[in-house]
Structure 1
Amino acid sequence: MMRPASVFLNLRSALQRLFGVSGWQSMLLWSIVAGLLGTLATELFRAALLAFEHLVLGPGEGLVAMAKHLPWWARIACPTLGGLVAGLLLVLAKRVAERSATSDYMEAIVLGDGRIPVAQTLARSASSLVSIGTGGSIGREGSMVQLAALASSLLGRVFRFPAERLRLLVACGAAAGLTAAYNAPIAGAFFVAEIVLGSIAMESVGPIIIASVVANVAMRALPGYQPPYRMPPFPEIHGTEVVLFCVLGVLLGFAAVGFLRALQGSRALFSRLPIALPWRLALGGLVMGAVSVPMPEVWGNGYSVVNSVLHTPWAWTLIAMVLLAKAVATMATAGSGAVGGVFTPALFFGCMIGALFGQGVQALWPAASSAPFAYAIVGMGAFLAGATQAPLMAILMIFEMTLSYQVMLPLMAASVIAYFVARSANAGSMYEITLHRNAQRDDQMRLRGLHMRDLVQPAETVVGPQADREAMSRLFLQYPVKYLYVVDADNRYLGVVPLSSLGTAPQETTASALLSQTIQPITAGTGLGEALQRFLDHLGERLPVIESAENPVLLGVVAKSALLATYVRLSEA
């Protein structure tokens, strides 16, 4: 008896032959299924997290509100014990890990074959749920997107998708998960396209957009749905005030650099501790819990704090203290190795720094500046652009959250400036796959800029015009070549002596008498493409390289093998 998957595969093939539907066109239909599965996975994790929070902490509206009702010792004990349990679950995840598969959906899409291991992913998601549910200062979007990608990976594996389409289906699931988490279908699609795929080709972006739209429609249809951020109406910005948002972009670019380097330093510090992984996570929870005793606002991903800052006036001193405490709590939680996203914390930091900047601007120019919440909204996008190195995604996300055209001008200016400031500082990105792609792009640009001067090797088979037959014979015997290069006293290239002409030459023959122009040299400034064409016309392994046609000084030789190896590296990059 045939299995349902086999029946479906046969039916799919028959329909494709009947209606002439290509595999890539059918991906649009599969992206709808990926969008629905991504929404389901995201909602299941959200419901499980809410149930776990209420089980451990009791009823309440958000982690910050729950933390405020806990005694001081419970604020310390809860994230500490949560970190310990989360660490034990991570140890379990390592033990069930598959050698040939990667649990990270980004690596599965870009570097792998789209296969995401089930047991390891579920164990890591359980660890993330415990960390977040006990107050960890990280975002829940990481596990939501991971589970949505896992659902699509399983779908593709059941129906035996080839590796290329399986990777695309996993990308659709990831975009659906991010869309369901943030109510931003366009930004969700461009997050995957800009950060994960590094391409906006319609063959890949089309299905991803469909999956994001389906996920957004499905999420809105669920009972009790509400977006994570409630954005106030954005005010109209006058032309001169855009300059202030540009200054904010510079500030947030440097702030993003500090955030990334602090995150890298925190992870390095915890990794050097001579204690097991569960105790490292417990230590991170202990630090975070201690910070939360005077500042319970550091609990969780910061949704409630951001919404409060956007809608109610906060004293600048309180914003500064919460910002500093949240930075310490986030570095302790994420640095210790807790599984979770730093996407939402990045929005938190951008909001708080923008609000501080807005209060400063309003204190100096009260009649010529907007309310601080406007700078906080723009700050969310600008900080995200600098930290993720994905300005287009950041701009689209804030635009979708506000649905206001007024925000676009200051948002675009601040985000692009923050992106270039952070990029010029070489601080990297929140996502390792972005670093990998940037390294590939830099290597590709370097290889494309190579000329023959960069590939020159010493020329060992060089003689002068007066070299006799015996001297030339010794060189031919010593080196397996077909030509000797002839240069004058100033090392200027004159031509070649072919091996074939030496055999019948008299004993007293010199190189000048056998000189041939059979081999035309390559100049040092010749590019890779032109040099490859020369080798296609030349059957030998080497070609001589001279400085220029006007100054034909022999610099050496370039080998066909070195040129082809460079092209292979260029194509792989």
Structure 2
Amino acid sequence: SVAASLTMLALSNHDAPFALVSGLASPGLGEYVLVVPLGLAAGVLAPLFLRLLAFGKRQFRALPLALPWRMALGGLLMGGIAVWVPEVCGNGYAPIIGILQGQALSVPVPLALLAKIAATALIVGAGAVGGIFTPSLFIGAALGAMVAGAAALIPALPQGDATLIALIGMGAFMAAVSHAPLMAILMVFEMTMNAQLLLPLMAGSILAYAVSRALRSRSLYDVLNRRHAHQAKVQALPDTELMALLEPVIRHLTPATTIDQACRQFEQTRTRYLYVVDEAGQFLGAVSIHQLAALICAAPERREAPVGPLIETAFDLLPAHASLKDAWSMFAMSPLERIPVVDNLDHRRFLGVVSKRNVLDRLRLLAER
């Protein structure tokens, strides 16, 4: 997104991709004060909006009607709303422009907001694909206009520019419903190309996201919902000790092992790494078969030299008290198939290894319970 905007600027196109507004004022004290109630309001309204969409889907699916008839019913009901509030028709772009330019709608903004929420719930519930993204922008703009209008009724409060507050509301509500605040911030910024708007926009979007996330873990997008569900399962894993999955390692190297002896060990074990343990049983590191092969090819005369220079001392380790969750997290970030286990990370007495296969098998069994 940033690269695309920079490319447009490099090609001498300095206009915003979406000509929502022009000549924006600079944010002042009023905007920063109103960011707080606006972010809180967007964070509270977004979960209610998502629950209403889910409720609409459940109610329409319960009807004994085929999908085309359910969609026709949803369109009929939405058309009834449009008779009184025509702004609910379309994707909401025209009423957004009206709000940002201070133009009067056919009904007061609060009624237009409620009508748009109801119409969106009807159409989405009936089974129509899409139609949530731009209505969310409209809801955010209307919410910002309402906050700015409410502040204007209290002269003692610092007054903010209604257009700026509406733009911040667009980003805040989109961040709250999508759980993607960075996307919302960049999107509204690109609509204006006004860098001065970034700070209050970031504050409002992050606040709305935090409140919405605390009230409802599910977002507008299923891909994020699946990711959050997966993370929740990982966090719910019991802190099972790894010692039950520990595998002993019979063959390992010592600092005095020669390169030729290490080659024979690799032939017998057929592994990528051999671990190096001193006489006291302390884990010193590992030798990679790839480094060993490269050394033999480059300097075959060194076959009787010790493996000391080839030892990788910065090697992933798990302490004996680690949990299954700790092992899963390390395997998720490491290409290793086996990770050495030591008594603790200070003394590093080598105990054995735990394999990715055994960890995944145990996780599968726990998930099926």
Which TM-score band (shorter chain)?
Answer: 0.5 to 0.7
Local SS of the residue matching 2:231: helix
Match of 1:533 among 320, 337, 340: 340
Give matches, 1:466-477, under 5 Å: none
> 2: CA distance between counterparts of 1:408 and 1:436?
30
Cross-structure match for 2:300: none
Q: Which 4+ runs in 1 deviate beyond 6 A?
A: 212-218, 454-457, 524-527
Summarize the alignment of residues 306-455 of structure 1 with structure 2, pairs less than 5 Å apart.
306-314=96-104, 318-365=108-155, 368-447=158-237, 451-453=239-241
Partner residue, 2:71: 281
Deviation string 1:161-186 (CA, Å, 9 cap, x unpaired) is xxxxxxxxxxxxxxxxxxxxxxxx43
Structure-2 separation of matches of 1:339 and 1:564: 37
1:565 equivalenced with 2:357 (yes/no)? no
Instruction: Name the structure 1 match of 2:32.
Output: 242
Q: Deviation at 1:373?
A: 2.0
CA distance change for structure 1 residues 443 and 230 in 2, over 3 Å: closer, same or farther?
Answer: same
**What is the CA–CA distance in structure 1 between the aligned matches of 2:101 and 2:45, rounded to whole Å?**
24
CA distance in 2: counterparts of 1:217 and 1:446, whole angstroms = 49
1:301 and 1:311 mapped to 2: Cα distance? 18
Per the TM alignment, residue 371 of structure 1 is displaced from its structure 2 partner at its CA by: 2.7
Q: Which has the higher helix share?
A: 1
Q: Paired residue for 1:204?
A: none
Q: Tell me the CA shift for residue 216 of structure 1.
A: 10
- The AA in structure 1 aligned to 2:69 is W
Question: What does residue 197 of structure 1 align with?
Answer: none
User: Structure 1's 242 and 264: CA in aligned 2 closer, same or farther, altered over 3 A?
Assistant: same
Label 1:416 to 1:528 Cα distance change in 2 as closer, same or farther (>3 A).
Answer: closer
| CA deviation map 1:441-484 (0-9, x unaligned) | 3334455xx53359979xxxxxxxxxxxxxxxxxxxxxxxxxxx
- Deviation sequence 1:265-285 (CA, Å, 0-9, x none): 111111111100000000000
Q: Distance in 2 between matches of 1:333 and 1:424?
A: 27
State percent identity of aligned pairs. 35
What is the CA–CA distance in structure 2 between the aligned matches of 1:327 and 1:438, rounded to whole Å? 26
Q: Secondary structure at the match of 1:393?
A: helix
Distance 1:454 1:232, change over 3 A: farther
1:525-551 CA-to-partner distances (Å, cap 9, x unmatched) read 697449952399548x9xxxxxxxxxx
CA distance 1:214–1:277, change in 2 (3 Å): farther
Q: CA deviation at 1:402?
A: 1.4
TM-superposed deviation, 1:398: 1.1
Counterpart of 1:261 in structure 2 is 51
Contact 1:232 1:311 (C-alpha < 8 Å) held by counterparts? no
Q: How does 1:99-110 map to 2 (within 5 A)?
A: none
Which residue does the alignment assign to 1:298?
88
Alpha-carbon spacing, 1:340–1:217, altered in 2? closer, same or farther (3 Å): farther
Alpha carbons of structure 1 residues 454 and 387: separation in structure 2 relative to 1, 3 Å: farther
Aligned-pair CA distance for 1:368? 2.2
- 1:136-191 deviation digits (Å, cap 9, x = unpaired): xxxxxxxxxxxxxxxxxxxxxxxxxxxxxxxxxxxxxxxxxxxxxxxxx43xxxxx
Letter in 2 for 1:360: A
Structure 1: 5+ residue stretches without partners? 1-184, 187-208, 458-520, 542-558
1:280-324: per-residue Cα shift (whole Å, max 9, x none)? Answer: 000000010111111111110111111011112438961111111
Counterpart secondary structure, 1:293: helix
1:452–1:528 Cα contact (<8 Å) kept: no
C-alpha root-mean-square deviation of aligned residues, in Å?
A: 3.8
Structure 2 CA distance for aligned equivalents of residues 291 and 454 of structure 1: 61
AA of the residue aligned to 2:73: L
Cα 1:359/1:527, change in 2 over 3 Å: closer
CA contact under 8 A between 1:233 and 1:404: conserved in structure 2? Answer: no
Asked if the contact 1:261–1:427 (Cα under 8 Å) also holds between the matched residues in 2, the reply is no
Would the alpha carbon gap of residues 356 and 282 (structure 1) be closer, same or farther in structure 2, given more than 3 Å must change?
same
What is the alpha-carbon distance in structure 1 between the residues aligned to residue 195 and residue 189 of structure 2?
Answer: 7
Question: Structure 2: which amino acid aligns with 1:421?
Answer: V
SS of 1:533's equivalent in the other structure is strand
The equivalent of 1:63 in structure 2 is none
Q: Hey, what's the Cα distance between the residues in 2 that align with 1:297 and 1:349? A: 12
Aligned equivalents of 1:423 and 1:273: distance in 2? Answer: 32
Instruction: Report the Cα offset of residue 213 of structure 1.
Output: 7.5
Structure 2: runs of 5 or more not aligned: 246-318, 331-337, 343-349
Q: Any idea what SS the aligned residue of 1:360 has? A: helix
8 Å contact kept, 2:85–2:107: no
What amino acid is aligned across from residue 437 of structure 1 in structure 2? Answer: R
Find the residue that maps to 2:84 and give its secondary structure. Answer: coil
Matches within 5 A, 1:545-556: none
Q: Is the 8 A contact 1:385 1:394 kept in 2?
A: yes
Cα deviations by residue, 1:332-384 (Å, 9 ceiling, x for unpaired)? 11111112231111001000011011100111137721132221110000000
1:455–1:562 CA contact under 8 A, matched in 2:
no
Rounded to whole Å, the distance in 2 between the matches of 1:356 and 1:240 is 14
How far apart, CA to CA, are the structure 2 residues paired with 1:293 and 1:315? 14
Distance 1:330 1:393 in 2: 22
Contact 2:16 2:193 in 1 (8 A): no
Partner letter of residue 451 of structure 1? Answer: D
The within-5 A match list for 1:127-142 is none
CA distance in structure 1 between the partners assigned to 2:234 and 2:324 by the alignment: 18
Q: Distance in 2 between matches of 1:454 and 1:242?
A: 51
Is the alpha carbon distance of 1:528 and 1:254 closer, same or farther for their aligned partners in structure 2, counting shifts above 3 Å? closer
Count matched residues: 275
Note closer, same or farther for the CA distance 1:526–1:419 as it changes in structure 2 (3 Å cut): closer
Q: TM-score, normalised by structure 1?
A: 0.43
* 1:89 aligned residue: none
The amino acid across from 1:452 in the alignment is T
Deviations 1:16-74 (A, max 9, x none): xxxxxxxxxxxxxxxxxxxxxxxxxxxxxxxxxxxxxxxxxxxxxxxxxxxxxxxxxxx
Shift of the alpha carbon at 1:563? 3.2
CA spacing shift, 1:226–1:522, aligned 2, 3 Å? closer
**Contact 1:232–1:310 at 8 Å: present in 2 too?**
no
Sort the Cα spacing of 1:339 and 1:368 in 2 relative to 1 into closer, same or farther, 3 A: same
